[in-house]
């Protein structure tokens, strides 16, 4: 299927208090910041949200809170992927019951299944829900890569809405786009490749950096859609140091620091992730200044 969403999706961080519990007050402010700046979709409990460190009760509470806070003003997508297909199905059912508009399912990680195993995994998830499902391809983190021929097979599943591409290989992404064009959408899942993925027909951005700079990321999308590549490149050039700063350490360590610097209380990541190193804080501080990102409050 195509057309589930276009524009900007933000892979939301999960803010934690000093005692380690979810900071729902801060998360509500983050949601309002996104909606006020034109974000079209909020992805909650994706990799950036640290779901591996959260209990099932915490995930359910965050889903319920998100749906109530958003109130239909943007699409809400919940992450449900797992290296256990049964667990992924349970997450999909829970998300649908919570009122999600769609699901994001990362490839099975660590198990390193075959390409046929990937197809069977997504078939099982899609059969368990009526919601649109987005596959998430991020082999640097999972050890599993959705190859173009496999993406083409996934596109035949009726409620497979698209693939969030973060493989980092534009040659592969171009071939995937060729094979699935008109059957399911491709979304940029790598902020460094937002422009080229949009240029070959990407339907939307699913961004980490937009936690900090949603308005700017949305403008990049709008400029490309309007055919104004000059302005798109000028803005992307300004954002690139910030994008690089957001990945000096494993996501979401840097972006949580960046959010806190602009007035969004993100707290610290949960273990085993750690606080951003001092040398990388300086890089983020400089990037925020060069990108012209102002404090939210």
Q: Verify whether residue 164 is a known catalytic residue.
A: yes
Q: Which long-range contacts (CB under 8 A, 24 or more apart) does 199-203 make?
A: 199/224, 199/229, 200/173, 200/174, 201/177, 202/177, 203/2, 203/3, 203/5, 203/6, 203/162
Identify whether 288 is part of a domain.
no
Residue-by-residue pLDDT tens, the chain, 297 positions: 999 999 999 999 999 999 999 999 999 999 999 999 999 999 999 999 999 999 999 999 999 999 999 999 999 999 999 999 999 999 999 999 999 999 999 999 999 999 999 999 999 999 999 999 999 999 999 999 999 999 999 999 999 999 999 999 999 999 999 999 999 999 999 999 999 999 999 999 999 999 999 999 999 999 999 999 999 999 999 999 999 999 999 999 999 999 999 999 999 999 999 999 999 999 999 999 999 998 886
Identify whether 297 is part of a domain.
no
User: Which range marks the domain in which residue 46 is found?
Assistant: 7-226
Identify whether 103 is part of a domain.
yes
CA distance 99 to 130: 12
Look up tokens 């700046």; give the residue.
37
State residue 296's pLDDT score.
Answer: 83
State residue 234's pLDDT score.
Answer: 97
Judge whether 132 and 161 are in contact, CB under 8 Å.
yes
CATH of residue 46: 3.20.20.70
State residue 160's pLDDT score.
Answer: 98
Identify whether 155 is part of a domain.
yes
Identify whether 48 is part of a domain.
yes
- Classify residue 123 as exposed, middle or buried by CB count within 10 Å of its CB (0-12, 13-18, 19+): middle
Question: What is the CB neighbour count within 10 angstroms for residue 171?
Answer: 9
Query: Which candidate in 29, 59, 164, 218 is catalytic?
Result: 164
Query: Which candidate in 121, 136, 221, 223 is catalytic?
Result: 136
Query: Chain centroid to CA 242: how far?
Result: 17
Identify whether 250 is part of a domain.
no
State residue 293's pLDDT score.
Answer: 93
Q: Verify whether residue 112 is a known catalytic residue.
A: no
- Classify residue 114 as exposed, middle or buried by CB count within 10 Å of its CB (0-12, 13-18, 19+): exposed
State residue 294's pLDDT score.
Answer: 86
8-state DSSP, 270: P
Residues 5, 11, 16, 22, CA torsion sign: positive
CA distance 275 to 14: 15
Identify whether 238 is part of a domain.
no
CA distance 118 to 78: 20
State residue 139's pLDDT score.
Answer: 96
Q: Which residues contact 41 (CB under 8 A, 6 or more apart)?
A: 5, 7, 8, 9, 10, 74, 75, 76, 77, 101, 204, 206
- Tell me the pairing of strands 133-137 and 7-11: unpaired
8-state DSSP, 275: P
State residue 140's pLDDT score.
Answer: 93
Identify whether 40 is part of a domain.
yes
pTM of the model: 0.95
The count of structural domains within the chain is 1
């Amino acid at each position: 299927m195509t057309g589930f969403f276009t524009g900007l999706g933000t892979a939301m961080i999960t803010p934690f208090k000093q005692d380690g519990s979810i900071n729902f007050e801060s998360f509500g402010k983050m949601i309002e910041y996104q909606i006020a700046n034109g974000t079209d979709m909020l992805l909650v409990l994706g990799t950036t949200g640290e779901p591996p460190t959260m209990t099932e009760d915490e995930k359910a509470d965050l889903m319920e809170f998100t749906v109530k806070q958003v109130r239909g003003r943007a699409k809400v997508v919940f992450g449900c992927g797992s290296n256990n297909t049964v667990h992924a199905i349970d997450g999909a059912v829970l998300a649908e019951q919570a009122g999600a508009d769609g699901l994001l399912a990362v490839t099975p990680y660590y198990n390193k299944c075959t390409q046929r195993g990937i197809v069977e995994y997504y078939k099982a998830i899609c059969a368990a829900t009526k919601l649109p499902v987005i596959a998430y391809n991020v082999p640097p983190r999972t050890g599993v890569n959705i190859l173009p021929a496999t993406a083409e097979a996934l596109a035949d599943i009726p409620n497979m809405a698209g693939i969030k591409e973060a493989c980092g290989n534009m040659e592969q992404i171009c071939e995937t786009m060729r094979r699935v064009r008109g059957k399911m959408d491709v979304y940029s899942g790598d902020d460094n490749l937002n422009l080229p993925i949009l240029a070959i027909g990407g339907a939307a951005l699913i961004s980490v950096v937009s936690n900090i700079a949603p308005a700017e990321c949305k403008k990049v999308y709008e400029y490309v859609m309007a055919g104004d590549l000059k302005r798109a490149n000028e803005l992307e050039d300004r954002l690139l140091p910030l994008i690089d700063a957001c990945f000096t350490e494993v996501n979401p360590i840097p972006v949580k620091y960046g959010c806190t610097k602009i007035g969004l209380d993100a707290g610290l990541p949960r273990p085993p992730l750690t606080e951003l190193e001092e040398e990388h804080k300086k890089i983020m501080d400089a990037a925020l200044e060069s990108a012209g990102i102002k404090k939210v409050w």
